């Protein structure tokens, strides 16, 4: 009996030791948490696919994604910084990045940006907005570009060609011909151009596509507001003229209304993201094309490119060098072509585009479902990164007041004054310039 007791005690001791070792093993795991702002299930799934690949290659690491909607991104980011509860890193945009920087929550990521650039070749338009105070504060991961989105069948039927407009004169001519009362009941059935005038970021994005083509900037290289110019007036006047061929209700529209009305056939052309691709692909509708936006004679190619990046919080650094090194390894892993195509072409085909030359040339990106089937639609969108820009960041982040200027939707309000209040383009531009000066002086 005594011998049996001793054996049982030995077994219990071994089991306890194993359990303790297993517990220590779990405790020793590096736990990484990041925030992104993409709640749709298919986007969460794309992130998880990349996470699972990383954890399989790094068994001592536990990675957790958390969704923080864009509506909550600013307040939750600033609150987490003030309380020291930030995740290790977060997906962001230039404006949010500036807010987090000014709150003192970030560490520079020069090493990652330079390493990825050397290996893959970053496009300048995606890295410029994240450089200021002698450092990079975000690791660009993809970009969201604007191009001219149109229905070729409408152009053929009402304009007599499938060739998209090349300059502003043709743009206005096409828009007029494409504004059609098909059944003669006195109500317009098809509008020539889908542009909006609500006081939203969507309006700011669309007007910037025109401003960029005239060489307009919000700031000079030294960060001084220089918006009030003949170039800006020309762009606002063009937008105002083009709005004659947009739905009158578009004075209150934003992204949702455009993405509903274009696939429904109510709009012939629009300067917009490639987000409509998924809808056309699911409906097996091939009446979809994209092209560089028309630009004025004497102007230049220009459009909006919205670069998304990863911001690295001080909380990751505070957990020690081993933890920080693993977080950086994950961030770089997300940029590797064999993983990045999952976060772009798989997650949101036609909308999220590669931020580096290597990722743009990666075969799997072009072989992915909707992208493969609509290559001619995706390619002009992807190539805008060569000449696109983001308002307030033409020369990089030279004036951090752009965060407040964007937050107040100054460009969108300028458009409203020109279209809804019907003041002249000169007056609207001067108002916007003066408001930017006021904000920058605070």
Number of Cβ atoms within 10 Å of the Cβ of 45: 12
Decide if pLDDT at 265 tops 90: yes
- Summarize pLDDT for 231-257 with one digit per residue, the tens: 999 999 999 999 999 999 999 999 999
Q: In terms of CATH architecture, what is 29-144+306-382?
A: 3-Layer(aba) Sandwich (3.40)
Decide if pLDDT at 325 tops 60: yes
The mean pLDDT of 380-403, rounded to a whole number, is 95
Place of tokens 């749709």: 40
Residue 298 or 202, more confident: 202
Decide: helix, strand or coil at residue 263: coil
The end-to-end CA distance of the chain, in Å, is: 85
Residue 71 has a pLDDT of 87
The mean pLDDT of 28-50, rounded to a whole number, is 95
Question: Residue 411: beta bridge partners?
Answer: none
Decide if pLDDT at 54 tops 80: yes
The conformation of residue 248, written as its DSSP 8-state character, comes to: G
Residue 263 has a pLDDT of 96
Domain boundaries, the chain: 29-144+306-382, 147-303+400-441
Decide if pLDDT at 9 tops 70: no
Decide if pLDDT at 3 tops 80: no
Decide if pLDDT at 99 tops 50: yes
Decide if pLDDT at 336 tops 60: yes
Decide if pLDDT at 305 tops 60: yes
Assigned CATH topology for domain 147-303+400-441:
D-Maltodextrin-Binding Protein; domain 2 (3.40.190)
Residue 411 has a pLDDT of 98
What is the overall mean pLDDT for the chain? 93
Residue 15 or 108, more confident: 108
Residue 299 has a pLDDT of 86
The conformation of residue 292, written as its DSSP 8-state character, comes to: P
**Claim: this prediction has a pTM higher than 0.75:** yes
Decide if pLDDT at 14 tops 60: no
Decide: helix, strand or coil at residue 290: strand
Q: Are 132 and 403 in contact (CB under 8 A)?
A: no
Decide if pLDDT at 12 tops 70: no
Q: Are 190 and 318 in contact (CB under 8 A)?
A: no
Domains 29-144+306-382 and 147-303+400-441 are alike in CATH topology: yes
The mean pLDDT of 368-377, rounded to a whole number, is 97
- Summarize pLDDT for 133-146 with one digit per residue, the tens: 999 999 999 999 99
Number of Cβ atoms within 10 Å of the Cβ of 261: 18
Residue 27 has a pLDDT of 56
Decide if pLDDT at 330 tops 60: yes
The mean pLDDT of 10-15, rounded to a whole number, is 42
Residue 438 or 9, more confident: 438
Place of tokens 């191009």: 147
pLDDT tier at 1, thresholds 50, 70, 90:
very low
The mean pLDDT of 11-39, rounded to a whole number, is 64
C-alpha distances in angstroms, 288 versus 16, 107, 132, 198, 370? 65, 43, 39, 26, 12
């Amino acid at each position: 009996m005594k011998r049996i007791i001793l054996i049982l005690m030995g077994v219990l001791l071994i089991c306890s030791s194993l359990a303790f070792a297993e517990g220590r093993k779990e405790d020793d795991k590096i736990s990484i948490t990041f925030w992104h702002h993409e709640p749709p299930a298919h986007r969460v799934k794309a992130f998880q696919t990349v996470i699972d690949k990383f954890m399989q290659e790094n068994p001592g690491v536990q990675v957790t994604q958390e969704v923080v909607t864009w509506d909550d991104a600013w307040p939750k980011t600033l609150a987490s910084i003030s309380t020291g509860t930030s995740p290790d890193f977060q997906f962001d945009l230039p404006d949010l990045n500036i807010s987090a920087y000014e709150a003192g929550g970030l560490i520079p990521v020069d090493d990652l940006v330079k390493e990825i650039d050397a290996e893959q070749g970053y496009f300048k338009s995606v890295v410029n907005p994240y450089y200021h105070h002698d450092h990079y504060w975000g690791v660009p991961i993809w970009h969201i570009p604007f191009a001219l989105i149109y229905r070729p069948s409408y152009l053929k039927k009402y304009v007599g060609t499938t060739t998209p407009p090349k300059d502003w004169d043709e743009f206005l001519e096409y828009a007029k011909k494409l504004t059609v009362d098909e059944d003669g009941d006195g109500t317009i059935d098809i509008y020539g151009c889908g542009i909006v005038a609500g006081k939203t970021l969507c309006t700011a994005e669309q007007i910037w596509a025109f401003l960029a083509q005239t060489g307009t900037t919000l700031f000079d290289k030294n960060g001084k507001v220089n918006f009030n110019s003949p170039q800006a007036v020309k762009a606002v006047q063009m937008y105002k003229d083009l709005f004659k061929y947009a739905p009158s209700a578009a004075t209150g529209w934003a992204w949702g209304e455009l993405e509903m009305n274009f696939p429904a056939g109510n709009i012939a052309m629009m300067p917009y993201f490639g987000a409509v691709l998924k809808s056309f692909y699911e409906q097996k509708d091939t009446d979809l094309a994209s092209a560089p936006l028309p630009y004025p004679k004497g102007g230049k190619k220009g459009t909006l490119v919205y670069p998304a990046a990863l911001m690295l919080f001080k909380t990751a650094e505070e957990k020690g060098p081993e933890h920080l090194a693993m977080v950086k390894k994950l961030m770089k892993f997300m940029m590797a072509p064999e993983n990045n195509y999952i976060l772009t072409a798989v997650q949101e085909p036609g909308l999220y585009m590669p931020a580096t030359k290597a990722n743009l040339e990666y075969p799997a990106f072009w072989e992915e479902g909707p992208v493969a089937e609509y290559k001619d639609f995706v390619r002009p969108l992807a190539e805008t990164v060569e000449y696109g820009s983001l308002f307030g960041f033409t020369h990089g982040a030279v004036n951090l007041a752009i965060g407040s200027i964007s937050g107040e939707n100054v460009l969108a309000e300028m458009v409203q004054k020109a279209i809804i209040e019907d003041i002249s383009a000169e007056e609207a531009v001067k108002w916007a310039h003066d408001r930017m000066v006021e904000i920058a002086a605070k």
